[in-house]
Amino acid sequence: MLTKRKLGRAGIDVTPICLGSMMWGQQNTEAEGHAQLDYTIERGINFIDTAEIYSVPPKPETQGSTERIIGTWLASRKNRDKVVLASKVAGRGNTWLRPDGKPTRLDDANIRYAIEQSLKRLQTDYLDLYQLHWPDRPLLLFQDNSTIFRGLPQPDDGVPMEDTLGALARLVNEGKVRAVGISNETAWGVSHFLRAHETGKGPRIASIQNAYNLINRTYETGLAEMGLREDVGLLAYSPLAQGYLTGKYKNGARPAGARATLYNRGQRQEKPNVEEAIAAYLALAQEYGLDPAQMALAFVTSRPFVTATIIGASTMEQLKTDIDSLDIKITPELEDRINAIHQRYPNPAP
């Protein structure tokens, strides 16, 4: 049986692997999504993550498809009590998610509409974890060099975080949400949400969902210590750097059916020193007789500040490989070797 971990201070226990689902509805069919869910539950994994904007790449025609696939699975299996279910409300800026065509914001009206629609698609009356997918305040996100801070925007017209937390508090009080979390956030954002909770503005955040992998360890600067000291656990997404750490894109390869091949969304991994860093990690895995994907996942899962590693797979073979990473131990010697590569190629794909 898998040893579960605490989801912040929310009183919820989750497995160290979380099943991500963002490809269901485009790259994967409903039947394939159901098969992945069945296998994951059979393996003892209890944590599932989705979002109102999924599947990816986001577009109006498939928006909400992933939640609908999970919803039909929950309805047919009748096992809602066996699952810790997480979803997300879109942050600032999307213009096709709401019926009025206005940009999404993290205010009460948008959050209320989003969760009501998510609950309908998921065929449930509550979420265990409801997350803010990205901030409302203007920030450079999902762009090249997005970790570089360029100063405060003028004007900063973001919805006050206290107001956002208040909207989430109402959902908690109504029983629609058990715990709340954030995603794609900064250390300042975490501290501000914690202060807002301490001053009575709403629930305490239980988690943060940010990218974290062997070629992007920027979370370790500032956020890792804060998360550990404040019991805000990391739900690490993109632990395989969109599949690049498996080696399948080595030397510019574009295998049929792979995400970068289908959607041309690998720009974050196509930066200076990324190829060299990945080659070093692939060689290290080979030296130790390890599957490179399993080594990369095991490293993330073994970090003390990680609550769960979010995996995503387009095939059952990939899913089995990913879950089997739980059997891999990152020894002190192997960790030293990994850190030596990190010193040579620090965070080439932030």
Residue 288 CB burial class (10 angstroms; 0-12, 13-18, ≥19): middle
Active-site annotation holds for 54: yes
Contact call for residues 229 and 304 (beta carbons, < 8 A)? no
* Cα–Cα distance measured from residue 209 to residue 310, given in angstroms and rounded to the nearest whole number: 9
Which CA distances in Å does 287 have to 126, 275, 290, 343? 47, 18, 8, 19
Nearest to 241 by CA among 209, 266, 219: 266
DSSP at 120? H
Going 80 to 84 to 88 to 89, the CA torsion angle's sign is: positive
What's the token pair of residue 209? 């969902």
Residue position matching structure tokens 């810790």: 84
Residue 101 CB burial class (10 angstroms; 0-12, 13-18, ≥19): exposed
Contact call for residues 266 and 238 (beta carbons, < 8 A)? no
SS3 labels along 156-182: CCCCCHHHHHHHHHHHHHCCCEEEEEE
From the list 39, 54, 113, 212, the catalytic residue is 54
Residue position matching structure tokens 């208040």: 166
Show which residues are catalytic: 54
